[in-house]
Amino acid sequence: MKLQDHVRFVRGIGPKKAELLEKLGIITLEDAIQCYPRGYEDRTQITPIRRLTDGEKQCVHAIVGMLPKTAHIRRGMDVTRCTVYDESGALTLRFFNNKYAAATLEVGKEYAFYGKVQVEGGGFVMLSPDFEPVGADNRTGRILPVYPLTAGLHQRDLYRVTDAALAAVPDDLPDFLPESVRNRQGFAPIRDVLFEIHRPQDMRQAQQARRRMVFEEFFLLSCGMRFLRARRSGKQGAQLRDLSLHALYRALPFSLTGAQMRAIEACTLDIAAGRPLSRLIQGDVGSGKTMVAAALCYLAAKNGRQAAIMAPTELLAQQHIQTLKPLLEKLGVSCGLLVGSMGAKQKRDIVQAMESGDISVVIGTHAILSDTVRFHDLAVAVVDEQHRFGVNQRAMLTAKGENVHLLVMSATPIPRTLALLIYGDLDVSVIDELPPGRQRIRTYAVGEGMRPRIDAFIDRQCAEGGQVYVVCPLVGDGESGRTSAERTAERLTGVLPHRRIALVHGRTKAAEREQIMADFAAGRIDILVSTTVIEVGVNVPNAALMVVEDGDCFGLSQLHQLRGRVGRGKRQSYCVFYGADRGADARERLKTLVHTNDGFVIAQKDLEMRGAGDFFGTRQHGLPPMKLADLAGDMDVLEQARCAADELLTCDPELIHEPVLRARIEKLFAQYGEGSLN
Ligand code: ADP
Ligand code: MG
């Protein structure tokens, strides 16, 4: 067979199995090659029965000592027991609903058994072991790959297709990694690597092969991001001749911090040099990133051009309009809002005004990306809280004008190596200074015993005219024993019946959620119980108390983001994290937040304690999905791959000498985002 052949032609895989395989993304043998094992079972080590370890999967060679006995436990549940022994001792095997085992195991014959071992009543039990006669070495005596499955598929189906795929790999299979990179890293030829990852002889081989493929994934991504960047920096940026900001500075009710000034200067320098601006502004919550956006929008308008700010939610867009519109209009710059929930006529009017150039600055949600929205002359695009948007959405926005300057704002502090991957196409400015006079948020890590006092404190905050956030990890009650938002809202309504309490979570309809958030912002709600939906950039200065239930099950960076919802006004603000009574580990993590307010310190601590997974988890990060690489465990490989990509592209920016690699990168990014490499 050939790599391009469909898997349904593999022996033992009919059209039915082929359909299931398609669910795993496997259509051709080539896809099967790229379906890597998600782990391995080391069945090469034979353990004497006496040395077995409780709770681990192990392999023994043992002789069947008696005929297997099957007992009918209840409807649909037969249990087969069998005692086996080796020189060191005896072991009980237990199978569930396994007629095959009962019929096959022969007394006096030696088999290799592989399965999970438990200690029960002083003896060892092996649960539902896989077995075969000693010496057969099909399922034992080797490293067995474990493939991802879907209902109806078995490991042996995956063995079949990967066997066929490996047999189809030609000797001259092209390698995406350039030879120089391979040599430097000491990688084996790709054909060998594929055999080693699917059929390793030992665990070391499996690990090395895996590392090689992870490297390739990171390498391709890094090259892709560098490519994006090179494409942009080779271009002309929109020309803005007048870069003076004095009028804006005079119109502000405060003076900018040094960090804000530096960020703005970095932007104007790029623009003055004739380059398209591609810059990420990273700054902790409340550091004043919006002012950098304001400065750029102002410059666009001042030069007779247009600017757009795109925020991830309607509420945030509305908040931006509320702060920026009065400021910019004072300077003679017209502003408009464009969000999905606006009426058709309102929308039509604003779209028309954008197209005619009557409006200089538009603030909105992804509604701005709609095909029907056109600009008269877009020169500056700002994307707020970017980790909610993908690389391709950035590209869609800048495609609405010519040589558009791009500013991305993010409040998620992420470690440098990851930032270079995710934002590899952007320059970075960090705002590492908060506006003066910010009061410190008093933070407490508490246990269950404090609940009555905290409830009373919530009540007192409301009595003093303040508002309160209560954040929970779950929407409804599950089995995890965690506190749900629904339950909490109910409980608080019982304890504080005289307070206006509302509930929002991910399952609340978008329109209703926006309404509740707007009510809360307007002070019509005292206590807002929610899940982390309120995490992003909401600004309600009158809210001065944040209570987080089960604080121990959030990442530190996330808790820090949540804390950033308070401390935005004149009131002394407080933050309370429950969960400090859940063990030393939980207490130490929460104490980090009590002791520091610095987002980067917290991010670093978070990384040390939980790995990079926390920065991503299920959250979108705007990159093509990765097959094998694990952003938590493979940071060192990421760093090496990124350096290698940097080196290669510095010598050969257009990859003229690496056509195979170039084609592969273009395919990767094309699949993922329409034309995002161009
Ligand atoms: P973020 O970086 O989280 O987006 P914002 O831009 O929303 O922060 O700013 C937070 C608050 O700080 C806003 O109310 C803003 O008006 C205020 N602010 C911004 N810069 C300054 C400054 N230099 N001095 C005083 N207040 C400032
Ligand atoms: Mg913001």
On whether residue 633 sits in a domain, the answer given is no
pLDDT tens digits for range 61-104: 999 999 999 998 888 889 999 999 999 999 999 999 988 898 99
Whether residue 79 contacts residue 127, with contact meaning beta carbons closer than 8 Å, is answered with no
Q: Residue 499: CB within 6 Å of ligand 1?
A: no
The protein residue with its alpha carbon nearest to ligand 1, atom 17, reads: 288
Higher pLDDT, 594 or 539: 594
Beta-carbon contacts of residue 265 (< 8 Å; ≥ 6 apart): none
Tokens 């940071």 correspond to 635
Q: Residue 285: CB within 6 Å of ligand 1?
A: yes
Q: Residue 254: CB within 6 Å of ligand 1?
A: yes
Are both 357 and 384 inside the same structural domain? Answer: yes
Tell how far the Cα of 335 is from the centroid of ligand 1, in angstroms.
Answer: 20
pLDDT of res. 623: 59
Q: Tell me which DSSP letter residue 674 carries.
A: T
Question: The tokens of 85 are what?
Answer: 């022994």
Q: Residue 316: CB within 6 Å of ligand 1?
A: no
- In this prediction the pTM is 0.68
Q: Tell me which DSSP letter residue 450 carries.
A: G
On whether residue 31 sits in a domain, the answer given is no
Tokens 């929407």 correspond to 475
pLDDT of res. 326: 95
* Alpha carbons 147 and 454: distance in angstroms, whole number: 49
Where a domain ends, among 141, 157, 184? Answer: 141
pLDDT of res. 353: 96
Are both 452 and 547 inside the same structural domain? Answer: yes
Strand partners, 591: none
Tell how far the Cα of 56 is from the centroid of ligand 2, in angstroms.
Answer: 49
Q: What CATH number is given to the structural domain containing 252?
A: 3.40.50.300
Tell how far the Cα of 387 is from the centroid of ligand 2, in angstroms.
Answer: 12
Question: The tokens of 67 are what?
Answer: 């005929």
Are both 338 and 409 inside the same structural domain? Answer: yes
On whether residue 24 sits in a domain, the answer given is no
Helix (H, G, I), strand (E, B) or coil at 572: coil
Q: Residue 471: CB within 6 Å of ligand 1?
A: no
Ligand nearest the Cα atom of residue 570:
1
Taking the CA of residue 287 as reference, the ligand 1 atom at the shortest distance is 2
Where a domain ends, among 376, 399, 431? Answer: 431
* Alpha carbons 559 and 391: distance in angstroms, whole number: 26
Helix (H, G, I), strand (E, B) or coil at 545: strand
The protein residue with its alpha carbon nearest to ligand 1, atom 27, reads: 435
Are both 263 and 344 inside the same structural domain? Answer: yes
On whether residue 632 sits in a domain, the answer given is no
* Alpha carbons 513 and 534: distance in angstroms, whole number: 10
* Alpha carbons 306 and 338: distance in angstroms, whole number: 14
Buried b (16+ CB within 10 A) or exposed e, 505-524: beebeeeebbebbeebbeee
Amino acid identity of 455?
D
Taking the CA of residue 254 as reference, the ligand 1 atom at the shortest distance is 24
Are both 453 and 477 inside the same structural domain? Answer: yes
Are both 537 and 654 inside the same structural domain? Answer: no
Cα dihedral 340, 341, 344, 350 sign: negative
pLDDT of res. 315: 79
Are both 311 and 400 inside the same structural domain? Answer: yes
Task: Label residue 675 by pLDDT band (50, 70, 90).
Answer: very low
Are both 384 and 510 inside the same structural domain? Answer: no
The protein residue with its alpha carbon nearest to ligand 1, atom 4, reads: 289
Q: Residue 256: CB within 6 Å of ligand 1?
A: yes
Q: Which domain holds residue 61?
A: 45-141
pLDDT of res. 352: 96
pLDDT tens digits for range 502-549: 999 878 887 888 889 889 999 999 999 998 876 565 678 899 999 999
* Alpha carbons 422 and 408: distance in angstroms, whole number: 12
Are both 254 and 210 inside the same structural domain? Answer: no
On whether residue 18 sits in a domain, the answer given is no
Q: How many CB atoms lie within 10 A of CB 254?
A: 10
Is the model's pLDDT at 579 over the cut of 90?
A: yes
* Alpha carbons 432 and 384: distance in angstroms, whole number: 18
* Alpha carbons 407 and 300: distance in angstroms, whole number: 13
* E strand or H helix at 337: strand 335-338
Taking the CA of residue 291 as reference, the ligand 1 atom at the shortest distance is 6
Q: Tell me which DSSP letter residue 673 carries.
A: S
The DSSP-derived string for 174-195 is: --SS-HHHHHHHTPPPHHHHHH
Taking the CA of residue 319 as reference, the ligand 1 atom at the shortest distance is 7
Q: Which of 122-126, 137-141, 310-314 has the lowest mean pLDDT?
A: 137-141
Q: What number of residues does the chain have?
A: 678
Task: Label residue 478 by pLDDT band (50, 70, 90).
Answer: low
- What are phi and psi for residue 236, nearest 5 degrees? -80, 145
Is the model's pLDDT at 293 over the cut of 50?
A: yes
The protein residue with its alpha carbon nearest to ligand 1, atom 16, reads: 288
Is the model's pLDDT at 637 over the cut of 90?
A: no
DSSP strand pairing (143-146 vs 77-86): unpaired
The protein residue with its alpha carbon nearest to ligand 1, atom 15, reads: 288
**How confident is the model over 276-301, as a mean pLDDT?**
92
Q: Tell me which DSSP letter residue 255 carries.
A: P
Q: Residue 257: CB within 6 Å of ligand 1?
A: yes
Where a domain ends, among 87, 120, 141? Answer: 141
Nearest to 468 by CA among 544, 380, 581: 544
What is the helix, strand, coil percentage profile of the chain, to 5? 40, 20, 40
Alpha-carbon distances of 307 from 319, 354, 415, rounded to whole Å:
17, 10, 30
Taking the CA of residue 541 as reference, the ligand 1 atom at the shortest distance is 14
Whether residue 533 contacts residue 504, with contact meaning beta carbons closer than 8 Å, is answered with yes
On whether residue 354 sits in a domain, the answer given is yes
On whether residue 358 sits in a domain, the answer given is yes
Ligand nearest the Cα atom of residue 258:
1
Nearest to 306 by CA among 368, 245, 253: 368
Tell how far the Cα of 311 is from the centroid of ligand 1, in angstroms.
Answer: 16
* Alpha carbons 456 and 179: distance in angstroms, whole number: 68
Nearest to 289 by CA among 324, 247, 318: 324
Nearest to 361 by CA among 374, 340, 380: 380
Task: Tell me the best of 255, 256, 261, 287 to mutate to test the pocket of ligand 1, counting ligand atoms within 8 Å of each CB and taking the most.
Answer: 287
- What are phi and psi for residue 218, nearest 5 degrees? -65, -35
Are both 263 and 409 inside the same structural domain? Answer: yes
Ligand nearest the Cα atom of residue 293:
1
Tell how far the Cα of 254 is from the centroid of ligand 1, in angstroms.
Answer: 10
Question: The tokens of 352 are what?
Answer: 């028309």
Task: Tell me the best of 255, 262, 291, 562 to mutate to test the pocket of ligand 1, counting ligand atoms within 8 Å of each CB and taking the most.
Answer: 291
Buried b (16+ CB within 10 A) or exposed e, 421-432: bbbbbbbbbbbb
Q: What CATH number is given to the structural domain containing 72?
A: 2.40.50.140
Taking the CA of residue 289 as reference, the ligand 1 atom at the shortest distance is 2
Question: The tokens of 59 are what?
Answer: 């392999």
* Alpha carbons 613 and 474: distance in angstroms, whole number: 20
Tell how far the Cα of 604 is from the centroid of ligand 2, in angstroms.
Answer: 22
On whether residue 19 sits in a domain, the answer given is no
Rg of the chain (C-alpha set): 30
pLDDT of res. 390: 67
Whether residue 213 contacts residue 196, with contact meaning beta carbons closer than 8 Å, is answered with no
Is the model's pLDDT at 677 over the cut of 70?
A: no
Nearest to 287 by CA among 431, 386, 384: 431
Q: Residue 571: CB within 6 Å of ligand 1?
A: no
Tell how far the Cα of 445 is from the centroid of ligand 1, in angstroms.
Answer: 27
∠ at Cα 132 (129, 133), nearest 5°?
135
Are both 370 and 347 inside the same structural domain? Answer: yes
The protein residue with its alpha carbon nearest to ligand 1, atom 24, reads: 435
Instruction: Domain count for the chain, please give it.
Output: 4
Q: Where in 435-573 does DSSP place strands (E)?
A: 442-446, 467-471, 501-504, 527-530, 543-548
Are both 423 and 448 inside the same structural domain? Answer: no
Tell how far the Cα of 281 is from the centroid of ligand 1, in angstroms.
Answer: 14
Tell how far the Cα of 286 is from the centroid of ligand 2, in angstroms.
Answer: 7
Is the model's pLDDT at 674 over the cut of 80?
A: no
Q: Residue 287: CB within 6 Å of ligand 1?
A: yes
